[in-house]
Chains A and B, each alone.
Chain A
Amino acid sequence: MTRATHPETAEMQAIIDRHLGMEGPLLPMFHALQAEYGYVPAAALPLLADTLNLTVAEVHGVKSFYHDFRDHPAGRHILKICRAEACQAMGANDMSARVLERLGIDWHGTTPDGDVTVEPVYCLGLCACGPAAMVDGRVVGRANSDRLLAEVGA
């Protein structure tokens, strides 16, 4: 489980420095920071900029381009539901509408108790057993709304 605490500068710098030998290290650095904290802390951006000789604006531009990188912590469970065509052919639209309605949130939203974040995903490669979803990194095939809600304890 990731920690959503107030990250220490020295700790973030240590995570960044582990990737210094790589060619094109910025994405691996973002991934490592998010793996540690559950999001990419804003305080990491100037550290990344200094380390890689970039401007903070450039670093922010890269981070914000990618759907994966969060700027705030997600809920305790992350439910990703596939919205792509193969899953739509198996009723994914209705399924996700029911899940979101029961949780009372929209895409990218987190329940008020901080339990569940629901994110759209465009294909998990489970297209012959849709609708597909991922709960905290675990894949679910032939999903339905009741099962997904049970998986996240809602």
Chain B
Amino acid sequence: MKIYISMDSAAKALGADQVAAGMAAEIAARGLHAEIIRTGSRGMIWLEPLVEIDRGQGREAFGPVSPADVAALLAGTMAGHGPTETIPFLAKQTRLTFARCGVTDPLSLDDYTAHGGLLGLRRALGLSRAEIVAEVTASGLRGRGGAGFPTGIKWNTVLGAQADQKYIVCNADEGDSGTFADRMIMEGDPFCLIEGMVIAGLGVGATKGYVYLRSEYPDAIAVMNAAVDIAREAGVLGADVLGAGQAFDMEIRVGAGAYVCGEETSLLNSLEGKRGVVRAKPPLPALEGFMGKPTVVNNVISLATVPVVFEKGAAHYAAFGLGRSKGTIPIQIAGNVAHGGLFETAFGMPLGVLIDEIAGGTATGRPVKAVQIGGPLGAYFPRSKFDTPFGYEEFDGQGGLIGHAGIVVFDDTADMLGMARFAMEFCAIESCGKCTPCRIGAVRGVETIDRIAQGDGAAVAVLTDLCETMKDGSLCALGGFTPFPVMSALTHFPDDFATRKEAAE
């Protein structure tokens, strides 16, 4: 009998370690022949701690499991969800990037290769640099961090740059609320990210990589460090990658709690040991990045998707999706939600289907009032926009952005003026201070929203004008996109702003 329990930090936060310990004790007490394997998470967070049991007929899912359930579970008297793969939330997904996450032991390289790992890298080792970059371009893969810039074009710029040293920098500073895909893949399938970075290095001629990983993710830091050691020991990293005569090695670097370091130029400054202040572009990081050298800066999910592009071919990947949003996107459904978690699907699924059908509405059972898509810089969408298909251009056309594909659900008790104020407050706390619209504008934004709350209707025009200034005048997305949540709250939920005014009068 094999027993699978997640070691993902969301599972741990809900008691997975206690369940695993109880399970081990019960197995010993009963003298059972059973092996406990810690995996990543399947992404069905409402079922965590999820326990899967394979009695020789495939994995069956049980959850959420508490330590008190362990005896009944082993005795076979606890009701479950049937075969894991048939749970609708999983069965409806197209898992390409997250194919192994929740299935394998994250730190077993044998498990990784037994499930298709390193096939992409082995194929890339037989290709020229230009062919590698062309494959990524053909896949249509776009930056999953939020900007959606075509990954192949970025790689091509670095490939064409002449320098004695080039770098691959993985942006693992996943600070957006409502997003946890980076964390899940780093904790659940770390070799996938490593393989993607090695392929990137081969493609552009970079021999050194860094993962800039936020300090708020201690579990991911531990898993990634262990995985890099294992990969180096096995020759996946080092002076002679898989014996093919090419070098690539990498390090994990830890951030220090600054949200703005998720912006690529700020991240590079931080990595160099400086204040995480945004740099003006140009020069592009692709030409003058880390230490002034040509640098690929890609999000975790972009890089972790590269192996499957090479394993299955660019055409296979590009066949999924909608319009210019090709492939799959790991959507994270969070906040006040009944069935929250990670749902990887081809681009194009309407927002309302994701929220009402896939995620089952709110956890509190109350009506959905608003959803924020794309983190703290993303717009709040009301129900009237729920037919928007999930894609870069489609969300842009509705005055929003998909960002890192996190959806935060709010029920009808949400105070949208309060959320708009928080957006400005957050921008003020996290501003790097380099440009005035962001540094000063965010502070004035909080004050102006407070005036609206106190009944000053004239302040609405001031807030609107301020948001225009921040949008047009800020150097990066922090100041430039904070107006998205603020203005969408004001536009779509005017009652939350008006009632305060009337109450004050």
Contacts and interface: CB of A to CB of B under 8 A. Distances in A.
A31 B332 contact: no
Most buried by B among A24, A68, A134: A24
Contact of A129 (B45, B253, B422): B45
A127 B9 contact: no
Interface in B274-301: 274-277, 290-291
B175 interface: yes
A112 B254 CA distance: 31
Interface string A70-109: 0000000000000011111110000000000000000000
B174 interface: yes
A99 B493 CA distance: 31
Given A27-B273, A88-B419, A130 B259 contact: no
A90 B414 CA distance: 10
A128 B257 CA distance: 21
A128 B340 contact: yes
B419 A85 contact: yes
Contacts of A87: 177
B175 A89 contact: no
B180 A125 contact: yes
Contacts of A28: 253-254
B428 interface: no
Contacts of A26: 273-274
B408 A85 contact: yes
Contact of A139 (B219, B256, B336): B219
A125 B256 contact: no
A141 B254 contact: no
Contacts of A65: 258, 275-277, 432
A34 to B, nearest CB: 9
Given A27-B253, A28-B254, A67-B256, A128 B177 contact: no
A88 B422 contact: yes
B335 A85 contact: yes
Interface in A128-154: 128-130, 132, 134, 137-142
Contact of A85 (B14, B174, B178, B337): B178
Interface size grouping (class) on chain A = 35 or more
Contact of B414 (A66, A89, A121): A89
A110 B48 CA distance: 33
Contact of A86 (B219, B408, B422): B408
A114 interface: no
Contact of A142 (B14, B177, B422): B14
B218 A130 contact: no
Nearest to B251: A22
A142 B430 CA distance: 26
Main secondary structure of the interface of B (DSSP, over half): mixed
Main secondary structure of the interface of A (DSSP, over half): loop
Interface string B333-355: 11111001100000000000000
B177 A30 contact: no
Most buried by B among A30, A69, A122, A123: A123
A84 B406 CA distance: 13
A127 B275 contact: no
A89 B256 contact: no
Q: Which 5 residue pairs spanning A and B have beta carbons closest together?
A: A128-B340, A26-B273, A141-B13, A84-B177, A127-B334
Given A89-B414, A127-B180, 13 more contacts: A24-B272, A67-B258, A84-B376, A84-B426, A85-B376, A86-B406, A125-B179, A127-B177, A127-B178, A129-B13, A129-B46, A137-B218, A141-B10
Interface of B: 9-10, 12-14, 45-46, 48, 174-180, 182-184, 215-219, 251, 253-259, 270-277, 290-291, 332-337, 340-341, 363, 372, 376, 406, 408-411, 414, 419, 422, 426, 430, 432
16 contacts: A23-B272, A24-B271, A62-B273, A65-B277, A84-B376, A85-B372, A85-B376, A85-B419, A86-B177, A86-B406, A122-B430, A123-B175, A125-B179, A125-B180, A125-B216, A138-B12
